[in-house]
Amino acid sequence: MAKVIVKGFLSIREAMGGLVQVEMEPQPPRVSRLLDMLAERFGPRLAEEIYLPGGQEVRPHLQVLVNGHHFRSQPGGLEHGLQDGDQVVIFPPITGG
């Protein structure tokens, strides 16, 4: 099984109960399954941060980095495979001026 370290920042961390990081073992080891497992574990508040209303599509501006690379730039996108020891960082869009 692939053990993956997930770190959430800003509102994602708040929705994860303030935890700095969690270890997850998604089966199958894919980005999509990891996001689903996180939403299941932490509940509706995190699900709303990850998914558009309806819960099927990841919010377009959500930043999900696998070992420093955005999942959308990886082969397979949401179905990108995860390996043991991968680090996944999730944060909402950052705006400011």
Would you give per-residue pLDDT tens digits along the chain (97 residues)? Answer: 789 999 999 999 999 999 999 999 999 999 999 999 999 999 999 999 999 998 889 999 999 999 999 999 999 999 999 999 999 999 998 876 6
Is 96 part of any domain? no
Output the CA angle 95-76-15, nearest 5 degrees. 40
- CATH number of 57's domain: 3.10.20.30
* Inside any domain, residue 31: yes
Could you tell me if residue 97 is inside a domain? Answer: no
Per-residue pLDDT, 97: 64
Number of helices (H) and strands (E) in the chain: give both, helices first.
3, 5
- Residues ≥6 apart with Cβ < 8 Å to 81: 29, 30
**Total tally of structural domains belonging to the chain:** 1
Residue 32, domain member (yes or no): yes
Q: Is residue 30 within 8 Å of residue 14, measured between CB atoms?
A: no
pTM: 0.93
